Amino acid sequence: MPIPQTIKKNNSEMAQLLKQEPEIFSIPKIGDLTEARLIAKALRAAYFDLGSYGNGIVYGAEYINAKNVIKELEIGETTPAKIIDLENDEGYIELSIAEASQQKKWREVKELFEKDEPLKVKIIGANAGGVTAEISSIKAFMPVSQLANEHYPRVGEGNRTKIAEELKKFIGQEFTVKIIDVNTRANKLIISERAATEQNVKELLLKYSVGQVIDGIISGVADFGAFVRFADNPLIEGLIHISEIDHKLIDNPKDVVKVGDLIKAQIIEIKDDRVSLSLKALKPDPWEKVEKKYKTGETVQGSVAKFNPFGAFINLDEEIQGIIHVSEFGGIEEMKKELELGKSYHFLIDSVKPQEKRILLKLKK
């Protein structure tokens, strides 16, 4: 490799000075990041002025990795460089520009993390697990659980295909997020939209309390429940779990509510920035008077509403359901041979348990 004579001379002079008066120079260490000023280009190498460190060189595999960067650099321009060897056979400090660039990016990301301030990112990819973005050219991942309520996919939690389809709609959109985890060793950068908004939501929720009734608008419906945006504060969104929609068994929340419905709901829990709501809390509980209507030993008529591995749910009226256990038939297949969905049969009430909201039935032969 031909070495420019001026560089060779300067490097030699710097080495002599360092021996004579080491205290006036900073001592470089492997792994240090420094600013390197380009002073010459060769066929397969580039030479840099490192100030008090002396002169450095990028060559071999490091030159190939940084070829595009070096090509764009003009003589006299500077670039971050990482020291990978203090002195090669020719007396130069060996440098890596590619590693330095990546290390500098991670340092910028760490600084943003330490500031703990919201920042805007553009969504560039999505899968069933979450969405991806870039910060300082480093790929960042946001799990589904870290999305704000307004962007949370309104589909069944187990349906990964539908979740991925919903998340892909966000590609190209700009989200406000916070960095919540930086792991340079694992090349892992995790961001959160929830973290960027939860403080505001927490403060807004201070004016609400458990037991309070709010006016809301159904903003989304999923298999597991319905999302409700507060009418007086659209930044707050609560969830009505499927078990809190009605006192009777609900097969699908979409059978009861739809997006855009205006409702009243009761707050049953406030935890951090999450609000749990209930519709059934505002409805009379039919189980409180069930013993007056249904008594052990009576014969009743009911229609088969749903099968599950434990038995069948039977609609006794519009509000009350009973259950007949699979053991009454010997097995699920045997049960389905004797009972048909939607069809009415006569049943014998085996027991009434209002506290458990359960009426046990037997098929009357």
What does the pLDDT look like over 207-234, one tens digit per residue?
A: 999 999 999 999 888 888 999 999 998 8
Residue 245 has pLDDT above 90, yes or no: yes
Percentage of residues in the chain having pLDDT higher than 70: 92
What's the whole-model pTM score? Answer: 0.56
CATH for 207-282, options being 3.40.50.720, 2.40.50.140, 2.30.42.10, 2.40.50.100: 2.40.50.140
Rounded-to-integer distance, Cα 33 and Cα 81, Å = 6
Q: Which two tokens stand for residue 40?
A: 């010459």
Least confident of 23-27, 129-133, 313-317: 23-27
Residue 283 has pLDDT above 50, yes or no: yes
In terms of CATH architecture, what is 116-197?
Beta Barrel (2.40)
* Over residues 78-105, mean pLDDT: 86
Give me the torsion for CA of 9, 14, 15, 16, rounded to 10°.
Answer: 90
pLDDT winner (highest mean) among 69-73, 159-163, 309-313: 309-313
* Over residues 254-272, mean pLDDT: 93
Rounded-to-integer distance, Cα 39 and Cα 296, Å = 97
Residue 18 has pLDDT above 50, yes or no: no
The per-residue pLDDT for 157 is 57
Measured in whole angstroms, the distance separating CA 122 from the mean position of its chain's CA atoms is 15
The fold of 5-103 is OB fold (Dihydrolipoamide Acetyltransferase, E2P) (2.40.50)
Please report where in the chains the tokens 């403080």 appear, as a residue: 199
Residue 2 has pLDDT above 90, yes or no: no
Residue 15 has pLDDT above 70, yes or no: no
The per-residue pLDDT for 276 is 96
pLDDT digits (tens, 9 = 90+) for 20-64: 544 445 678 888 888 899 999 988 899 999 988 889 999 988 888
User: Amino acid identity, residue 95?
Assistant: L
Q: Calculate the average pLDDT of the chain.
A: 87
207-282 and 116-197 share a CATH fold: yes
The per-residue pLDDT for 22 is 46
The set of residues, in sequence order, having a beta carbon less than 8 Å from that of 343 and lying 6+ positions away, is 303, 304
Residue 124 has pLDDT above 90, yes or no: yes
Least confident of 31-35, 298-302, 325-329: 31-35
The per-residue pLDDT for 69 is 84
The per-residue pLDDT for 9 is 47
Phi, psi of 202 (to 5 degrees): -55, -45
Least confident of 12-26, 86-100, 249-263: 12-26
| CATH of span 286-363 | 2.40.50.140
- Give me the residue spans of the domains in the chain: 5-103, 116-197, 207-282, 286-363
Residue 10's pLDDT band (boundaries 50, 70, 90)? low
Residue 145's pLDDT band (boundaries 50, 70, 90)? confident
pLDDT digits (tens, 9 = 90+) for 157-212: 567 888 899 999 999 999 999 999 998 888 899 999 988 887 778 888 999 999 99
The per-residue pLDDT for 93 is 92
Q: Which pairing describes strands 125-127 and 130-135: parallel, antiparallel, or unpaired?
A: antiparallel
The per-residue pLDDT for 168 is 94
* Over residues 320-326, mean pLDDT: 93
The per-residue pLDDT for 6 is 52
HEC-encoded secondary structure of the chain: CCCCHHHHHHHHHHHHHHHHCHHHCCCCCCCCEEEEEEEEECCCEEEEECHHHCEEEEECHHHHHCHHHHHHCCCCCEEEEEEEECCCCCCCEEEEHHHHHHHHHHHHHHHHHHHCCCEEEECCEEECCEEEEEECCEEEEEEHHHCCHHHCCCCCCCCHHHHHHHHHCCCCCEEEEEEEEEECCCCEEEEEHHHHHHHHHHHHHCCCCCCCEEEEEEEEEECCEEEEEECCEEEEEEEEEHHHCCCCCCCCHHHCCCCCCEEEEEEEEEECCEEEEECHHHCCCHHHHHHHHCCCCCEEEEEEEEEECCEEEEECCCCCEEEEEHHHCCCHHHHHHHCCCCCEEEEEEEEEEHHHCEEEEEECC
The per-residue pLDDT for 16 is 53
